[in-house]
Chain A
Amino acid sequence: AQSVTQLDSQVPVFEEAPVELRCNYSSSVSVYLFWYVQYPNQGLQLLLKYLSGSTLVKGINGFEAEFNKSQTSFHLRKPSVHISDTAEYFCAVSGEGTYKYIFGTGTRLKVLA
């Protein structure tokens, strides 16, 4: 079975500071990992994905994530956040041979002026 853990439910950070949102997963098969962003009352938008290859993945809006197989982690980072990054962020896992996507409980990022 697959599962995803986002330990931080809320992360406050000042504008222009760096941020890291943590994601850990468990899976018995090869994994595909995703980060999505959700603004209030909207659907989810893909930020970035890891399917294979380089473990450092760059996405939209200056975000990046690093796949660490030994630590079963896929943490999301941004070196300098903006007010507009205030949103909820979801980590998700899928796997070889499965149609299902398993989502974490989300991390609410609040960027302070």
Chain B
Amino acid sequence: DGGITQSPKYLFRKEGQNVTLSCEQNLNHDAMYWYRQDPGQGLRLIYYSQIVNDFQKGDIAEGYSVSREKKESFPLTVTSAQKNPTAFYLCASSIGVGRREAFFGQGTRLTVV
């Protein structure tokens, strides 16, 4: 079955540590996205990538980094510079420019302890 796989589902991090969230898709989609979800704030765009080896900052990129070395993979690193990293992180992909829906993974809940 085609889809988007995020791992792990739950992640705990100590303050001051970097952590990487995995996102893999087998839909052959060009575009991939990372969103952060906090209660009452909806989904906020962190980074997105239109094509391999290219990515752009979204609205809340500070404290995060990404890479897009392969079409099917778009990992997100939450760095120690992110002041409030506890949140639900969602990865998505789409076939391309605007005229199609985005498909979502099941999310990773990150908790800083």
User: Which A residues are closer than 8 A to B by beta carbons?
Assistant: 6, 9, 32, 34, 36, 41-46, 49, 51, 90, 92, 94-106
Q: Given that A41-B109, A43-B107 are known contacts, is A105 also in contact with B42, CB under 8 Å in the complex?
A: yes
A105 and B101 within 8 A (CB): no
B50 and A32 within 8 A (CB): no
Q: State which of A6, A42, A51 has its C-beta within 8 Å of the C-beta of B99.
A: A51
Q: How far is the CB of A57 from chain B (nearest CB, A)?
A: 12
Among residues of B, the one whose C-beta sits closest to the C-beta of A101 is: B102
Please give, as numbers and ranges, the residues of chain A lying within 8 Å of B99 by CB-CB distance.
32, 51, 94, 96
Interface flag for B94 (CB, 8 Å):
yes
Interface of B is mostly: strand
Interface flag for B104 (CB, 8 Å):
yes
Binary flags per residue of B40-51, CB closer than 8 Å to A gives 1, else 0: 111101001010
B48 and A104 within 8 A (CB): no
Please give, as numbers and ranges, the residues of chain A lying within 8 Å of B107 by CB-CB distance.
41-43
Binary flags per residue of B74-104, CB closer than 8 Å to A gives 1, else 0: 0000000000000010101010111111111
Q: Given that A97-B97, A99-B31, A101-B33 are known contacts, is A43 also in contact with B104, CB under 8 Å in the complex?
A: yes
CA distance A106 to B42 in the complex (A): 6
How many chain-B residues does the 8 Å CB contact rule pick out? Answer: 30
B101 and A46 within 8 A (CB): yes
Interface flag for B106 (CB, 8 Å):
yes
CA distance A42 to B105 in the complex (A): 8
Please give, as numbers and ranges, the residues of chain A lying within 8 Å of B48 by CB-CB distance.
99-100
A43 and B106 within 8 A (CB): yes
B50 and A104 within 8 A (CB): no
CA distance A44 to B91 in the complex (A): 10
Q: How far is the CB of A50 from chain B (nearest CB, A)?
A: 11
Please give, as numbers and ranges, the residues of chain B lying within 8 Å of A42 by CB-CB distance.
106-107
Would you mind naming 22 contact pairs between A and B with Cβ atoms under 8 Å apart?
A32-B98, A32-B100, A36-B104, A41-B88, A41-B107, A41-B109, A43-B4, A43-B6, A43-B90, A43-B104, A44-B43, A44-B104, A45-B104, A46-B101, A46-B103, A98-B98, A99-B31, A99-B94, A101-B33, A103-B43, A105-B42, A106-B40
